[in-house]
Structure 1
Amino acid sequence: MTIHLRALTPRPKSLDQVSRTVEAIVSTGADTARPGFVERLDLRGADLSRLIGSAVLNAHRAGSIEDQLGVVEAAELRAEGLWVRIKFRSNDAAQSVLTDIGEGTLRGLSIGYTVAEWKETRDGERRIRTATRWTPLEVSIVPVPADAGAHFRAGEHQMEVETQTADQSANNGAVLTRAQTNAEIRSIAETAGLTRDWADAQIDAQAEPDAARAAAFAAMQTRSAQTQTRTTRAVITADNTDPAVIATRAGEAIFARSHPEHQLSEAARPWAWRSIGDVAREVLHLRGVSTLAMTSETLITRALHSTSDFPLILGDAVGRELRRAYAAPASGVRTLARQTTARDFRAKRSIMMGEASELEKVPEGGEFKNGTLDESAESYSLATFGKIFAISRQALVNDDLGAFTRVPAMMGTAAAVFEAAQLTAKVASNPAMSDAVAVFHADHGNLAATAELSVTSLSAARLAMRKQTGLSGALIDVVPKYLLVPPELETLGEQTLATIAATKTADANPFANLTLVVEPRLTSGTQWYVLADPATIDGLEYAYLEGAPGPQIETRAGFEVDGVQIKVRLDFGCGWIDHRGWYRVG
């Protein structure tokens, strides 16, 4: 009886001791058991941009440069799987590993990777998670590989055929049982990278191992013909020469790590899920700086002090977090003031035109008479407010995302609180206007004595606002829209404005259309305000420097502080433009 045996050669013929290189298949995408699920890698979704030039490690250890055995010189997807060419270092540890590989005593390979997108499926009772977008980061030489198909290559032909002849008597008449045959067929399918369904079909057909091997080779040839060999390159593209573009994309990716709900833009996806050290490495690569054998600490220090991109990236991530906190629900008074801009820091004057004189009849052939416009000027100016804080080098090396969330969020909240306090102070302090009369004053027709909040007192306030006149003495018909109260009057305000399903006219609530606004910074528990829509009539106004609304961020590599320094600047001002749109009781 002739028994044909086929086995992988233990000595990879692709090994070149002179150039210290060897070829390998580091992943076939095979199933790997994880706690609670089976993990698969879809090789078509691999982003190989980080793999070329990455480290080859000793069993995934990366604590020091001694753990690095070499680098990946080339990588591409082939029909067999993820192919790489490895170049080993010339030190004693790497040479020892290279010798063991050549002797066939060290065969295991593994990869380290990050996953950007998963696909969940089920196979009966098994939960399967397939990585559809993932990035290999390193290759490791290991004693026990998770992927049984990962191996050092023999050369262009992966299998060598060895034929041995032995008669049945030499094997004591042993004949493979059906169970042993089925196990052999499953082993053939796994080695050839074929599916479980293929193996089941061979077993159902009662195939012998020789016939299954022939079918496996035929299936592999068909698969090779149908699969186009390609090299995948996810490149961080050429607009990467612009530091502002790099900062926007990489900063968004860092922000998204702290906020998984954030939907990354397509332009930022190549930067997704990278650690701070990874971002520093990529920035140095883009600027032509070699990062071979650099530790995370060295990468970050070099990126901070030799490129402008890295501080900008960190500043963008911080700025996004600061703006997120700053854009939280605004204070009561801030929603009732009008936003505008100022071109510089000189006094900002808002001109309020008086009502045009009334129209006069023009007789046939007569002339139109000239009218006049009155004007009144109020002014305020911007001032600069700010603070500097630092993110330490230790926090960057530790990839501490909290440094990009806690402090910036507090600064953003502080900026919003500051603006609200400035605006509330303008309301509570009742400053004098250009006519030397306080904003809320009997001479302005917008101040009433203390009165309990009720339909009656609201009615009196509305009447007074309706009777307001402009600079020329003509009625301007101010329409109330908001009721502003301190927290002490919030419940009473809700009750007063509540819609009532009245059964008779006298019970109807005429103020149900007013909007209640509560400002906790108002210190008087008895004063309350009725005001018009700021879009229809001037009143309280605030401004930012033109082109710089809200808090602005600047970054630089720290000198006094070992890390990156971030300056938060706010150019802001506020003031009263007109008194006619507001009415105070109390």
Structure 2
Amino acid sequence: MPKDMMNLPVIGRAASVRPETVNLEARTVEVVWTTGAVVQRARWEGWDDRIEYDEELLVTPEAMRLERLNAGGPFLDSHRSWGLESVLGAVVPGSVRVADGKGYATIQLTGAADAADRVARILDGTVRNVSVGYLVHSYEITRKQGEREHWRAVDWEPMEISAVAIPADPGAQTRAAGATPEPLFPCAVIRRVAEIAAPAAAKEALMPNPNPAADDQNAARNNAEQLQERAAPGGQAPGAPEATPPAAGQEAEAIAQRAVAVERERVSTIGDLCRRHGLEGEFMSGLIARGVSVAAAREQILDHIAERDPLQGRAHEPARPRDDGSASAGYRAAVENALQHRAQPGVALTDAGRDFRGMTLMEIARQALERSGVSTRGMSKMEVAAAALGQRSVGYHTSGDFPTVLANLGNRTLRDAYDATPRTFIAWARRASLSDFRPTTRVQISNAPKLEKVLEGAEFQYGTFGEASTQYALATYGKVISFSRQMLINDDLGAFTRVAASFGARASQLEADLVYAILLNNGVMSDGTALFHANHGNLGTAAAIDEGSLTAAYTAYAKQTDIDGTAIDVSPEFILVPPGQRALEARKLLTATTPSTTSQVNTYAGRLSVVEERRLLPPTGAAPWFLAASNSMLDTVEYAYLDGNEGVFTETRNGFEVDGVEVKARLDFAASAIDHRGLYKNAGV
């Protein structure tokens, strides 16, 4: 698709305050700062006409640059960004979230005297309108005959949120005050050229034609006509000259050339995919003639292969393959052992695996084919590799021993690396299994009600339970790695096993990243208050780890109450520290010693288990430390896998895009803070 650059200012959109979220004591309020709805806008591009278009914001984490806003973006008075007196507050760091196609954020309003009147109007509900200012870094533009252009922001960045008297006109842009010009920022504009050409010409361009030069000329003329119509709807813009401006003609010619190049690439790619899998003839011609995109063609090719071969060359292998006692299973186990010993010399060779010691991958592949009844006499290395990997290009399509051996080796290497990578959160967080990907509600139920004395002959009284809840859902993470014919011929087993081991380690690291992000990001709990907050009684005064700060922490635990307000018995069991000074302080204070005086006694010796975690070390500033209760005593953080898919899970198939074996590593995982009462934070000094 053609890509151009243009300069745009900060753009504004209406947003809304959620009045039910106003917290007068904390001076906070939640806003819905985007819904991504389609709005009509106007632009001026040098013609006399006012050109209108529809703008849509893609509201997904992938399309939105949320770092600036989520780090404490400003909350302004009417988009005034040129003076500190216009700052009414800031976005609470870590409170920005995207859910159900909407963007939410919590605003912390300032307590400054010069802003008191405006802040009071927001808190009492008099000012309910807000507006978000944002930059668009990339638009995808489509246009259909007789309709306005559709500008879809696929890469955009919220810059600030403002309290306003009247929400911004969707057709206007945020403007600076006075005569000061607005700063402009580069924006990539990607036009879908396939929709610029006339429908009839597009269909003809998709059909095989003995005279492609004539097709190119027709496409160029159609694109030029469409460009002129877009520039001057109805034939001519008011005040425009009779002839098409030279610049428009040049742009039309460029668009025509790009359209022809895109179409040629589509036809060539679809042809290559079909020929690779023996699908020439009517099927291939139909895909090309119907104008099917390359992405859609891939799906239809896969479906067609499935109709002809229900197995599609797929061989599902569990993470820990089992030996079923058959001759093939024994052979595969022996080859796997020899290859694993070659990649990891620490793995002991079995008696059966010793038979394959020193053999190259090509020698093993040729033997595997001969075992399955395929004669390799007269076959080149490339043909042997393709046949061993089950490729159709040489007439073989099997799920034989060799692809299974490679798949099992990749699975085993990946899983071993996953298990070997440290995950310190396992010590203090609680593990769970979820049966599906729907949001799961975790209900916190209070302790049983207090027992009361029952007089003789009197009735027993009914008690009640208080409860609160937290919701979270599983997400899927994954990558695909492949072993190609070239790697087989080059005997490059090490590259395959190193990548598999790296993916296994990355999966384990991802779990730890997600769990410790809960402590570091300090997100908002179901009660509308941050996880670590004075209102929760679990945020200490910044201090090093010493007798005084630990005493204050234990006191805070002792003051915790249940959901119904009754006191509870809970104390910390783990101290979570980053490497460096905090870890040194913790180990010194918790280590039993033989003191010579009472002042040298380590009063907390042996009372806490130290969990040292690198992710808690900040890039700058003081290093924080945390306490966590035993998860058997009280809910803290819960992490979960999909039921039956605990840890990293692998699937394999004969390659479709790659001539070889593909191994897909998948992790279904989620983590969430369930209850604040078992956790405590000190920001450190």
TM bucket (normalised to shorter chain) is: 0.5 to 0.7
Q: 1:551 aligns with which of 638, 641, 648?
A: 648
Distance in 2, Cα, partners of 1:370 & 1:328: 52
Distance in 1, Cα, partners of 2:338 & 2:460: 66
- Tell me the alpha carbon deviations over residues 445-477 of structure 1, each in whole angstroms, 9 at most, x when there is no partner: 111121222111011101211332221223332
- Tell me the alpha carbon deviations over residues 125-164 of structure 1, each in whole angstroms, 9 at most, x when there is no partner: xxxxxxxxxxxxxxxxxxxxxxxxxxxxxxxxxxxxxxxx
Distance in 1, Cα, partners of 2:501 & 2:495: 10
**Structure 1 residues 341 and 417: alpha-carbon distance in aligned structure 2, compared to 1, 3 A threshold:** same
Matched with 1:205 is none
Q: 2:502 aligns with which of 410, 431, 449?
A: 410
Matched with 1:323 is 415
Matched with 1:82 is none
Q: Residues 450 and 526 of structure 1 are in contact (CA less than 8 Å); yes or no, is this contact kept in structure 2?
A: no
- Report the alpha carbon displacement of residue 407 of structure 1 after superposing the two structures with TM: 1.0
Matched with 2:572 is 480
Distance in 1, Cα, partners of 2:324 & 2:377: 22
**Structure 1 residues 496 and 381: alpha-carbon distance in aligned structure 2, compared to 1, 3 A threshold:** same
Structure 2 stretches of 5 or more lacking a match?
Answer: 1-322, 391-396
Matched with 2:171 is none
The residue identity in structure 1 corresponding to 2:614 is P
Superposition CA RMSD, Å:
2.9
- Bigger drift between 278-287 and 350-359 goes to 278-287
Matched with 1:515 is 609
Matched with 1:495 is 588
Matched with 2:485 is 393
Matched with 1:301 is 386
- Report the alpha carbon displacement of residue 571 of structure 1 after superposing the two structures with TM: 1.4
Q: 2:666 aligns with which of 552, 555, 569?
A: 569
**SS of residue in 1 equivalent to 2:478:** strand
Q: Residues 540 and 552 of structure 2 are in contact (CA less than 8 Å); yes or no, is this contact kept in structure 1?
A: no
**SS of residue in 2 equivalent to 1:509:** coil
Matched with 2:636 is 539
**Structure 1 residues 564 and 468: alpha-carbon distance in aligned structure 2, compared to 1, 3 A threshold:** same
- Tell me the alpha carbon deviations over residues 298-353 of structure 1, each in whole angstroms, 9 at most, x when there is no partner: 43321211322433321221122112222234244454322222111111222222
Alignment of structure 1 residues 448-487 onto 2, 5 Å: 448-487=540-579
Distance in 2, Cα, partners of 1:362 & 1:480: 36
Structure 1 stretches of 5 or more lacking a match?
Answer: 1-235
Distance in 2, Cα, partners of 1:381 & 1:335: 22
Q: Residues 421 and 509 of structure 2 are in contact (CA less than 8 Å); yes or no, is this contact kept in structure 1?
A: no
**Structure 1 residues 353 and 282: alpha-carbon distance in aligned structure 2, compared to 1, 3 A threshold:** farther
Matched with 2:524 is 432
**Structure 1 residues 364 and 430: alpha-carbon distance in aligned structure 2, compared to 1, 3 A threshold:** same
**SS of residue in 2 equivalent to 1:566:** strand
2:368 corresponds to 1:276: no
- Report the alpha carbon displacement of residue 559 of structure 1 after superposing the two structures with TM: 3.4
Distance in 2, Cα, partners of 1:481 & 1:238: 48
Matched with 1:262 is 347
Q: Residues 311 and 555 of structure 1 are in contact (CA less than 8 Å); yes or no, is this contact kept in structure 2?
A: no
**Structure 1 residues 237 and 335: alpha-carbon distance in aligned structure 2, compared to 1, 3 A threshold:** closer
**SS of residue in 2 equivalent to 1:521:** helix
TM-score (ref. length: structure 1): 0.54
- Report the alpha carbon displacement of residue 427 of structure 1 after superposing the two structures with TM: 0.8
- Tell me the alpha carbon deviations over residues 252-289 of structure 1, each in whole angstroms, 9 at most, x when there is no partner: 54323322332467887777765433543454355443
Q: Residues 558 and 569 of structure 2 are in contact (CA less than 8 Å); yes or no, is this contact kept in structure 1?
A: yes
Matched with 1:578 is 675
The residue identity in structure 2 corresponding to 1:256 is H
**Structure 1 residues 502 and 254: alpha-carbon distance in aligned structure 2, compared to 1, 3 A threshold:** same
**Structure 1 residues 498 and 342: alpha-carbon distance in aligned structure 2, compared to 1, 3 A threshold:** same
2:428 corresponds to 1:336: yes
Distance in 1, Cα, partners of 2:460 & 2:368: 71
- Report the alpha carbon displacement of residue 429 of structure 1 after superposing the two structures with TM: 0.8
Q: Residues 315 and 553 of structure 1 are in contact (CA less than 8 Å); yes or no, is this contact kept in structure 2?
A: no
- Report the alpha carbon displacement of residue 415 of structure 1 after superposing the two structures with TM: 1.6
Distance in 2, Cα, partners of 1:327 & 1:237: 25
**Structure 1 residues 271 and 574: alpha-carbon distance in aligned structure 2, compared to 1, 3 A threshold:** farther
- Report the alpha carbon displacement of residue 432 of structure 1 after superposing the two structures with TM: 0.8
The residue identity in structure 1 corresponding to 2:600 is D
Distance in 1, Cα, partners of 2:438 & 2:567: 33
Distance in 1, Cα, partners of 2:406 & 2:512: 28
The residue identity in structure 1 corresponding to 2:361 is I
- Report the alpha carbon displacement of residue 527 of structure 1 after superposing the two structures with TM: 1.9
Matched with 2:30 is none
The residue identity in structure 1 corresponding to 2:531 is V
**Structure 1 residues 535 and 292: alpha-carbon distance in aligned structure 2, compared to 1, 3 A threshold:** farther
- Report the alpha carbon displacement of residue 362 of structure 1 after superposing the two structures with TM: 4.6
Structure 1 or 2, whichever has the larger Rg, is 1
The residue identity in structure 2 corresponding to 1:391 is F
Percent identity reads 40
Q: Residues 557 and 677 of structure 2 are in contact (CA less than 8 Å); yes or no, is this contact kept in structure 1?
A: yes
**Structure 1 residues 363 and 307: alpha-carbon distance in aligned structure 2, compared to 1, 3 A threshold:** farther
The residue identity in structure 2 corresponding to 1:496 is L
Q: Residues 334 and 423 of structure 1 are in contact (CA less than 8 Å); yes or no, is this contact kept in structure 2?
A: no
Q: Residues 544 and 585 of structure 2 are in contact (CA less than 8 Å); yes or no, is this contact kept in structure 1?
A: no
Q: Residues 284 and 307 of structure 1 are in contact (CA less than 8 Å); yes or no, is this contact kept in structure 2?
A: no
